[in-house]
Amino acid sequence: MAKKKMTKRQKRAKTEKAREKPTIEFCKKCGTILVPAKKGKSLALRCRRCGYEIKKQLRSLKIVEEKKGKKGVVILEKDVTLLPMTERECGKCGNRQAWYWLQQTRSADEPPTQFFRCTKCKGVWREYK
């Protein structure tokens, strides 16, 4: 079978059709993007915010929604504390080991506050120097 040759007009029409890009319509009242909505058997473009509608002949319609994948957080080990440890008695459970850290909670001319966290019950208390 021999292939039929395309005329110059047919080639031009094919290239113009390939170049056509879908256009986005915007609401004339509020400026929001118009989305397709079915009205019986016909399609219309409708504003979600104010309800403005344009009746248009749509040859083809393709809506693509891209969702970005969520990046998960990998937990290697639960409750890893990189604080120094000392011997202090917890007031809640009586455990004798606690993590500690220093934090400047008052003005700079006063000593820092020392916080403690129990290694057993995770209770937190502080001592002023």
Among the options 16, 65, 77, 109, which is catalytic? 109
Residue with tokens 């606690």: 98
Burial label for 53, CB within 10 Å (0-12, 13-18, 19+), is middle
Among the options 25, 89, 110, 127, which is catalytic? 110
Cα–Cα distance between 124 and 115 in angstroms, integer?
A: 7
The residues, any chain, with a CB within 8 Å of residue 47's CB and separated by 6 or more, are 27, 29, 30, 32, 34, 35, 53
110 labelled catalytic: yes
109 labelled catalytic: yes
> What amino acid positions are annotated as catalytic residues?
109-110
